[in-house]
Structure 1
């Protein structure tokens, strides 16, 4: 079975002989945002922090990516991954993205900075951090 996205939403279509649904596992890349969140979480736990909130990255949950606390301290972390060179959508998985990953990473970086500033304004008592995978672009 193949999913197609018409203008009015998703619909299910039977497969044809020349169609093959490609499985895309974005979570396998170490630089995927969810894996970066997990790595930061492990480090914080090792360092004695208590994790009090974690966004579900796979479902694209909104909000603070990671919330941690210690006695008298609150830490809010905005996390970004690194863009893949292909699309996450299985229907476009074989297509290269029009925007190069390094250019998209620059946009994600600027979005993270803005989010950090907004978090600091909304939670002035909290410590704000940004987390990125180790890529030269970041």
Structure 2
């Protein structure tokens, strides 16, 4: 039985938050459950909304298996929709991060950490381990809706500085930046740091509007 099957089986019994679902399904760590549930939600297989967990009885984001008579978003309030990834533009940081995680999972990476972009958790946005047991640290950025050219430059600089700090912390890890594809500010800035890419190798994970990821 796959991890996805275990999650679906657990949700067939109860509506659960990610923490309780990880325990009930036996899928660890919790971040793996979160990734699976996001994918299931995007496929309209489950509903993720602010509700009461059947196990811990706390009010938090819960997962409920959908049946054919249930509309995926019918019960979601405007408040919850405002922080849901589907209410954000495709180039929002959380969506960029999510598509890169899906890409890594499909390529047999094990996900060790996923930062909560809504809560603005500090630390590395994605920590993953490749099939050949090499650790990968990724800084993910979206594209700003206000003052985009100026703000995008700051975000790009922030991502590059993240990599410098990551390399200083552990020079043996693989490094990456995740960015939305098709924005000229980012594509124009990238050639200016080719020298850094040579001396401190890293990859760019470009995410397009359809969620496809290309690696440069």
TM-score for both structures, normalised by structure 1: 0.69
- The answer on 1:75 being equivalent to 2:132 is no
1: CA distance, partners of 2:120 / 2:95: 13
Alignment match of 2:108 (pick from 42, 48, 68): 48
1: CA distance, partners of 2:156 / 2:82: 23
Paired residues in the alignment total 103
Alignment match of 2:91 (pick from 24, 31, 38): 31
RMSD, matched Cα: 1.7
Q: Tell which has more relative contact order, 1 or 2 (C-alpha 8 A, sep 6+).
A: 1
- The answer on 1:129 being equivalent to 2:167 is no
2: CA distance, partners of 1:101 / 1:73: 35
Q: Secondary structure at the match of 2:180?
A: coil
- The answer on 1:63 being equivalent to 2:120 is no
Q: Deviations over 1:86-121 (max 9, x none)?
A: xxxxxxxxxxxxxx1111001110111011111011
1: CA distance, partners of 2:129 / 2:152: 29
Q: Deviations over 1:68-90 (max 9, x none)?
A: 002430000000011123xxxxx
1:84-123 matches, within 5 Å, as: 84-85=145-146, 100-123=147-170
2: CA distance, partners of 1:111 / 1:101: 15
2: CA distance, partners of 1:50 / 1:43: 11
2: CA distance, partners of 1:36 / 1:58: 13
2: CA distance, partners of 1:25 / 1:84: 15
Unaligned runs of 5+ in 1: 1-21, 86-99
TM-score for both structures, normalised by structure 2: 0.45
1: CA distance, partners of 2:97 / 2:163: 16
2: CA distance, partners of 1:111 / 1:56: 18
Choose between structure 1 and 2: higher helix proportion: 2
Structure 1 stretches of 4+ moved >6 Å: none
